[in-house]
Structures are given as structure tokens and as C-alpha cells.
Amino acid sequence: MDLRYAPEDEAFRAEAREWLTDQLTGDFAGVRGRGGPGDEHALFDERLAWERALGSARLTCLSFPEQYGGRDASLLQQVIFYEEYARAGGPGRVGIIGEGLIGPTILHFGSDEQKRRFLPRIASGEEIWCQGYSEPNAGSDLANVQTRAERDGDEWVITGQKIWTSLAHWADWCFVLCRTDRDAPRHRGISYVLVPMRQAGIDIRPIVQITGTSEFNEVFFDGARTAADNVVGDVNAGWKVAMGTLAFERGASTLGQQLAFENELTEITETAKKNGRSSDPVTRQRLADAWIGLRIMRYNALRSLSSMARGELTPQTAIHKLYWATFHRQLGEVAVDVLGPDAALAAAQPYELTAAQRLFLYTRADTIYGGANEIQRNIIGERVLGLAPEPKVSS
């Protein structure tokens, strides 16, 4: 990938920077820096309005074709946007699952009708999505999903339970991995079904997390319905689509993510300077290590993006997930250690947390979602090092 910026890239950077700065110091100043990990509950209505303002400025879903509300933007321009977004302190995006997961999946695997129906409403922020993969007995072992979809005339009828469903309480739609053939080998009897969330037959129960907030939920489907043509890809061929979605999860946002972590490190370093812990030799080493870790992340992300720009999907993405998740969890530990005993005091009654506390608590999840560390190590062991595959219980 050629990382020199062409004049049109610089022009796009200037446009994005100016728009973000204007909005986040003007009408949307209140959402600046809000809604991140452990703060997802904050200011939902305001952040939904922000999502729609971004959509009106055509600053969501940059990679989508123009006809579906995007800009057909190059990978480099997408990276530029994520960098500028992090630099400006843009809030946690309520449309992130639509833009990052289901949008690219529909673009790649969906029918023309599905593209027309769903993509523009993702880009405009009109419809919010959630991901219905995990179940109580299907997390790392995702092919074990038991939620069923059965055909009834022109509709699918969905029955079963999903868990850890982020943002389900706000979502208009969910992409649900369902078993559609119980007799087929387990990877071959799964379909990728798009289900409207606001209907009888869906019960959403928030799960209170260690942060005291409820970013994710249990979702019970009891005869929920969706139209027969709301299946992405072929019926019973949903496993391939589901794996495609996971590959999209590690796209252009990775560089912006690194800048967001840099903002967190800057704050931690400033705290250490103010409270005197920056003179403690071990703290100094840990802060310097974190700074070095960020540089490694950046070069690793650039290397992955270069491969993606050449159309290659390499096992390097597994290294990246393992690296950033472990890095971020450790950064959370540094954040509270720098506070010392003050880290044990809540910001306010009854359980209002400081940014450092939220970072510490939420980053425990980073090494679990999107593929747990152990699973990433299995991928590296098997696909990079060529080690013998771990024994499978069934296939």
C-alpha cells in the first residue's frame, strides 16, 4: 500500500477535520468523547442525532458505493477519517455494527434488493443494528447455535435465545445466526437471517456489567417473524456469510482505534505527571512500554491494511486482535495503578465511575469479544505456524 497522501486525500482530510471540529465544538459539543467503552449508555438520543448528522454529511459508511449512501472511498481515505474522528474526540458510534459488520456483509453477500433496502438506512443512521451470534452454549464454539428459523409461508419464524447482544435494546434490526436444517452437519445447517427487533415475540433483557451499565443483553425469540427473503446468502449456507462478517470486523477502523488508545494514554500520562507517580521508576517504564506498544500496533495495523489493499486476507489480523486486546487490558491496569488508592473511590454516588475506572473494567472484555485470546492463539498456531489442529468434538 502506498501511504503517501495524494492531493484528493489531503482535501478529504481537511473536509473531515473541519466538519468534525465545527460540529464537536458547536451543536454536538455535549457528545464529544462520550459513549465509549463502559460509557455506552450515555446520551443515546444525542448520539443518535449525531449519527444522523454524520449520515447527512455523508461521513458514515465511506466504503459503500455512492448509490447506497457512501463515497466509494479508498481504504486510505477510510483510515484518514477514523484518524480524524479519534483526533477530534468523536463519540462512540451507535451505528457501528451497521457500518462495520452488517453493511459490508450485505454488500458482499446480499441480493440487490437487500442492498437497496438496508444500506441507505444504515448510512443515514435511520436504522440501528445488533449482532445475534452468541448463545449460552455457542460462543467460541459458534457452530453450535441452536436458535431455529422455520419456514411458515412467506415468513421465517424464529425461536431460541441469544446472549451478549450489544445494543439490542436500541436496535431496529438484528442479524441472527439460525439453524434451518437440524439434520445437516452443524456448519451446513445454519442461515444468516435479518430480523426486525421491534415486534412481539422478542424479549430483550439487559445484563448489568461490571461497569454498572448494560451495553449487552439476553434476547429471547419466541415465534418472532421475518420475511422469507431476509436471508443473506443461500439458506443453509450462513456459516460462510457469518465468517465473512467476522473478517470485516478488523478493517480500516484499526488505525483510528490506535489513536483512540493514544488519547487514553495521554490522559493517563498527564495524571501521572500531576499526582507525582511519573517519578516512580516502575510507572515510568510501564508508561514508556505503553507508548512503544502503540507504535507496534500502528505498524502492525499498517501491515494488515497493506495486505487488505492487495486483496489478501492474512493470518496477521489474528496477531493484531491478540495484540491490541492484550495491550488495551494492560493499559486499563496502568490507568488505575497511576491513580493509586484513589482508584477505589467512585466518582459519585451510587456507582458513577471515572474514565480510568471504566477503562480498567471494560477492557477485561477486550480479550473475549470478537474472538477470545485463546482462540486467536489457536488460529496463529494452526494457520501461521502449521501446528497440528486441536481435536474437534464433532464437525
Selected range binding ligand FAD among 51-59, 127-135, 178-186, 266-274, rule: CB under 6 A: 127-135
Q: Using N-to-C axis directions, what is the helix angle for 355-362 and 316-339, rounded to 10°?
A: 140
Q: Using N-to-C axis directions, what is the helix angle for 281-309 and 75-87, rounded to 10°?
A: 150
CB of 138 to ligand FAD, least distance (A): 7
Separation of alpha carbons 18 and 13, rounded Å: 8
Of positions 134, 211, 258, 271, contacts ligand FAD by CB under 6 A:
134
Separation of alpha carbons 21 and 196, rounded Å: 35
CB of 381 to ligand FAD, least distance (A): 10
The distance in angstroms from the start CA to the end CA of the chain is 38
Residue with smaller CB distance to ligand FAD, 92 or 132:
132
SS3 state of residue 157: strand
Beta strands at 217-227 and 155-162: parallel, antiparallel or unpaired = antiparallel
CB of 83 to ligand FAD, least distance (A): 25
Please identify which of the residues 51, 249, 262, 264 carries the catalytic annotation: 249
Residue with smaller CB distance to ligand FAD, 277 or 320:
320
Q: Is 139 in the site for ligand FAD (CB under 6 A)?
A: yes
Q: Give yes or no: 249 in active site.
A: yes
E strands, 44-144, in order: 129-132
Residue 196: phi and psi, rounded to 5, are -70, 135
Of positions 74, 105, 124, 131, contacts ligand FAD by CB under 6 A:
131
CB of 340 to ligand FAD, least distance (A): 27
Residue 171: phi and psi, rounded to 5, are -80, 150
Q: Is 372 in the site for ligand FAD (CB under 6 A)?
A: yes
387: β partners: none
CB of 249 to ligand FAD, least distance (A): 10
220: β partners: 161, 203
Q: Please, which of residues 194-233 interact with ligand FAD by CB under 6 A? A: 216
The catalytic residues are 249
Binding site for ligand FAD (CB under 6 A): 130-134, 139-140, 164-166, 216, 365, 368-369, 372, 374-375, 378, 390
